[in-house]
Amino acid sequence: MFGVLRKIFEFAGSKKKLLMKAMVISFCGAVFAAMQFGALMFALDQVLSGQQAGMLPVIAILLISVIGRILCFYYSVNEETEVGYFMVAEKRIHIGDRLRYIPMGYFNDNSLGNITAVVTTTLSEVENSASRCLVMVVGGFLNTLALCLALTVTDWRMGLIGICGIMVYLFVTEMAQIATSKTGPARQMAQIHLVEAVLEYIQGMSVVKSYGLEKDNDQMAARTIEESCKKTLSLEASITPWMAVRQLVVRGFSVLIVVCALVFYGGGTMPLSRCLLMLIASFILYQELESAGNMSDTLQMLGATIDKANSIDDTPVMDIDGKELAPKDAGVAFENVTFSYGNRRILDGVSFTIPEKTTMAVVGPSGGGKTTLCNLTARFWDVESGTIRLGGRDITDYKLDSLMKNISMVFQDVYLFQDTIENNIKFGKPDVSHAQVAEAAKAACCHEFIMELPNGYDTVVGEAGGSLSGGEKQRISIARAMLKDAPIIILDEATASVDPENEAELQAAIDALTHDKTIIMIAHRLKTVRSADQILVLSGGQIVQRGTHEELMKQDGLYADFIGERKEAMGWKLA
């Protein structure tokens, strides 16, 4: 239990002090709460002695106790809430900041989905329950401790028994956590399998149905559901006995307090009024401790959640100590560049030079290293060995920001933000005027269709009325790159255009974007390949051919095969 509390404490980061303060105030509140025993004792004394000493002191003590409690509770809860929400905010910002320096190549759909889930769902769990957990667990524990101290003041023996109770209770709770920590992961695995099975069932349903495999598939899903139910029940089965044990400990000590009070009274070492006080105290002494203990399962889950959030810190970060530099020209060069992904070598000793304002087309089989070559240029990854130069300088000399100023990328998978079209276009340059946005849009052949949308440039992408065809999205992404106006363009040419009726516009947009720039392109279209200043044929991570179209067509080899195949594919007829 304390392990997790420490974890929360560590997680609190710069809010640690506030958290400490909250706990101290919470303890003060517990002391105020314990004061009602004083009032009770005062009243008991009067009743037992038969002498009326007036109600004023009783009322005064009670009022102080209640008001003190309200104030302390209010402040500590507020602080704990603030800690809870702001420590999570801090973590979110920390992760967001870190993402900027994690090599781009680390991201894929899977890891992005995972990070998004952590930053939204997982951390929301922390912000919602961490503070509540802290209030309940720490507050409950302190409350009981304060009550025990109050008992000690009246009779040290009773205080000792009370504290023994706390210790035994904590011990049992710890034992329970150890016992359940074995079944917990098994249950978690079963839940993960359940998610996978449900997703596979739904995503694969069209296949299953069209091949008439429902029976087989139903059985598999049913088995996983069964498994998840079984594992959950066995987790519950391991928790429940401990629940009984915890209750027995608390109740047992309550009885012990009653019995001891009676025995001490009988032995004459405790006055009747104290004995009665103990009898009454036995009911409330452990109340809060118990509710704290009941949170222990939540606390354990919280611990696992925090671990998950912290795991993002394990991802590698790039070395980013560059300088604010402007390149002297926009030429790009690779010198003996090697790059591996895991154990697989993707690029192996690749060298080339692209003079300023020329075009290099990269062709070759899929998996040959074309995309990696582009990503290395933009420093989405760092090379393993060799050097990449921009304007004669190693790209790692540049600050990431000043490097990226020089490069525009047009990806095959177009990502548009769920924002207005205008904002999407000026994403790279937020402070340009509308006229400039429209100009870029016109050049990228998007102005016309944008104006036909219900809200024109203010139409929000993805929302009703803002559903764009693939080709339209592509052109918006080109307008975005156009506005950035970087001297180097990295272009992953779209394979088959998603809406063929607009292919001519798309082509015009690309032509406008690439005019007078240094261009690295993964080319699929024969026209673009042919007009490139140099062509690189990449296969198995190595440059197998290079030259112009005319030169390469004269040679036997991959390039000639590639051209042949493309022609064949283009001329393909189904009927």
Partner 1 sequence: MKEKKKESPFILLWSWAKDYHGGFYGSVLLAMLGVAGSMAAYFSVAAMIRILLTGGGLDACVPWCLLMLLGYVAKSLCSAASTALSHRATYHALRDLRKQLLAKLSRVPMGTILDTPSGQYKTTIVDRVEGMEPTLAHLIPEMTSNLLIPIFIAVYIFCIDWRMGLASLATTVIGMTAASQSAKTYAVKWDGAVAVGRKMANAIVEYIGGIQIVKAFSQSAGSYRRYADAVEENAAYYKNWMKENQKFMCIMQTVTPSVLLVVLPVGLLLWSRGSLSASDFMTVIVLSLGFTGPFLAAMSFVDELAVVGTNVGEIGDILQAEELERPEKKVILKDRKIQLKHISFTYGKEDEQVLNDISLTIRPQTVTALVGPSGSGKSTIAKLIAGLWDVSSGSILMGGWDIRDIPLDQLNQQIAYVSQDNYLFDRTVRDNIRMGRLDASDREVEAVAKAAGCDSFIRALDQGYDTVCGSGGGHLSGGEKQRISIARAMLKDAPIVILDEATASVDPENEAVIQKAILALTEGKTLIVIAHRLSTIADADCIVVVSKGKIAAQGTQKELLESCPLYARMWQAHIGTKDAA
Interacting residues with partner 1 between 187 and 206 (CB under 8 A): 191, 194-196, 198-206
Four-CA torsion 532, 538, 544, 548, nearest 10 degrees: 0
Q: Where are the beta strands (DSSP E) in 382-438?
A: 385-390, 393-394, 407-410
> How far is residue 508's CA from residue 403's CA, in Å, rounded to a whole number?
28
Do the Cβ atoms of 238 and 245 come closer than 8 Å?
A: no
Nearer to partner 1, 70 or 175 (CB): 70
Which of 384, 503, 512, 548: binder of partner 1 (CB under 8 A)? 503
Region class of 485: left (phi > 0), else alpha (psi between -120 and 50), else beta: left
Which of 186, 411, 432, 455: binder of partner 1 (CB under 8 A)? 411
Do the Cβ atoms of 274 and 281 come closer than 8 Å?
A: no
Please give the structure tokens belonging to residue 515. Answer: 């005019």
- Under the binding rule (CB under 8 A), the answer on residue 251 touching partner 1 is yes
Residue 436 CB, shortest distance to partner 1, in Å, is 16
Nearest residue to 478 via CA among 388, 408, 566? 408
Please report, as residue ranges, which positions from 416 to 445 form the binding site for partner 1 (by CB under 8 A): 417-419, 427-428, 430
Which of 266, 341, 434, 451: binder of partner 1 (CB under 8 A)? 266
Residue 391 CB, shortest distance to partner 1, in Å, is 18
Nearest residue to 151 via CA among 26, 290, 27, 270? 270
> How far is residue 199's CA from residue 193's CA, in Å, rounded to a whole number?
10
- Under the binding rule (CB under 8 A), the answer on residue 326 touching partner 1 is no
- Under the binding rule (CB under 8 A), the answer on residue 551 touching partner 1 is no
- Under the binding rule (CB under 8 A), the answer on residue 63 touching partner 1 is yes
Nearer to partner 1, 3 or 367 (CB): 367
- End-to-end CA distance of the chain: give it in Å, rounded: 71
Residue 246 CB, shortest distance to partner 1, in Å, is 8
How many residues interact with partner 1 (rule CB under 8 A)? 154
Please report, as residue ranges, which positions from 457 to 476 form the binding site for partner 1 (by CB under 8 A): 469-470
Residue 455 CB, shortest distance to partner 1, in Å, is 19
- Under the binding rule (CB under 8 A), the answer on residue 344 touching partner 1 is no
Which of 69, 447, 473, 475: binder of partner 1 (CB under 8 A)? 69
> How far is residue 249's CA from residue 433's CA, in Å, rounded to a whole number?
72
Site string for partner 1, 273-312 (x = CB under 8 A): --xx--xx-xxx--x---x---------------------
Residue 50 CB, shortest distance to partner 1, in Å, is 9
Please report, as residue ranges, which positions from 113 to 152 form the binding site for partner 1 (by CB under 8 A): 115-116, 119-120, 124, 127
Region class of 34: left (phi > 0), else alpha (psi between -120 and 50), else beta: alpha
Place of tokens 């329950």: 129
Nearer to partner 1, 528 or 534 (CB): 528
Do the Cβ atoms of 539 and 366 come closer than 8 Å?
A: no
Tell me which H or E stretch contains 403: helix 400-404
> How far is residue 49's CA from residue 412's CA, in Å, rounded to a whole number?
91
Nearer to partner 1, 359 or 539 (CB): 539
Which of 2, 89, 317, 515: binder of partner 1 (CB under 8 A)? 89
Nearest residue to 311 via CA among 122, 107, 84, 86? 122
Which of 175, 182, 189, 236: binder of partner 1 (CB under 8 A)? 236
Nearer to partner 1, 3 or 554 (CB): 554
Four-CA torsion 383, 384, 389, 393, nearest 10 degrees: 110
- DSSP label at residue 540: T
Place of tokens 């009783």: 58
Please report, as residue ranges, which positions from 206 to 225 form the binding site for partner 1 (by CB under 8 A): 206-214, 218, 221-222, 225
Which of 2, 10, 17, 55: binder of partner 1 (CB under 8 A)? 55
Please report, as residue ranges, which positions from 150 to 179 form the binding site for partner 1 (by CB under 8 A): none
Nearer to partner 1, 328 or 567 (CB): 567
Residue 223 CB, shortest distance to partner 1, in Å, is 11
3-state helix, strand, coil in the chain (%, to 5): 65, 10, 20
Please give the structure tokens belonging to residue 369. Answer: 């290293």
- Under the binding rule (CB under 8 A), the answer on residue 381 touching partner 1 is no
Nearer to partner 1, 355 or 540 (CB): 540
Nearer to partner 1, 287 or 455 (CB): 287
Please give the structure tokens belonging to residue 464. Answer: 């009703």
